[in-house]
Structure 1
Amino acid sequence: MTLSHNTSSNEEERQAVLSAITRIHDGRAERSNGAHTVVALATESGITRQRLYEHHSDLLNDFKATAGATSVGPNIKALQRQLAQTGERNQQLAAENALLRSKIRTLSAVITELTLDSTNVDAVVAMPRNRLRG
């Protein structure tokens, strides 16, 4: 019975470590600072570092191998800032575009009205030539 209990306990610990690794990699740490370190993993999983090294070294080695690959925080933050700035610029350009389209519609209406008025001979008032010569 003791062997069964130990196996069950070991599986529960493995699940706790795997869950902690996932949370840390996903940036959703609940119990630790979320750093990609063994200390943070131990805190996040609730398992001592010694136990991690002694009983879950395979998981610990996998975590260490992927920790360097996933800790690109500064790059992600820079890209997030750039994305936010690009989104703001896109909104500015969309507003400017809407304003320019509105102006184009207004100017098109004015041009159409002026064109119609200039083809109506009765609406055109001719200036006397004598007055211009003075």
Structure 2
Amino acid sequence: MSPVPGERDRIRAAMDRILGGVPQRSNGALTIVALAAEASVTRNALTQRHLDLKNDFYAKVKERGQPTDAEARLRKQVVKLKELRQSEKVERAQLKADVEALVRAVNLLTQENRQLRKQLTDPDPVVRVLPTQPRPPTG
């Protein structure tokens, strides 16, 4: 495919506007999508026909020492994920402690239940079954 006449000039001018912080047709993000919108070309024009300009744009962004918008967004996401991981770690530790406490309680109740059943089978049980009272009719 041959490039459209003036396309390279439009791309260079768009690069200057974006890097200068005065975009006219895009959001000014330091991305190929924004550069394509700013130059009024398709993204494919930058990724297929004008790779040198795309690489030049990324090199200039890197020279500025500023992270790209995508990098900044990913860094924020990493921070959020680390915070989430830490909170889940705390929650997991609490759940583990809760499980251990519940296991102890179940073991204690099982032991008490065995003792009570044993007392019921003894010849003179200490525990006596009390008669139940009839419930009054409802309604």
TM-score, normalised on structure 1? 0.45
Which is richer in helix? 1
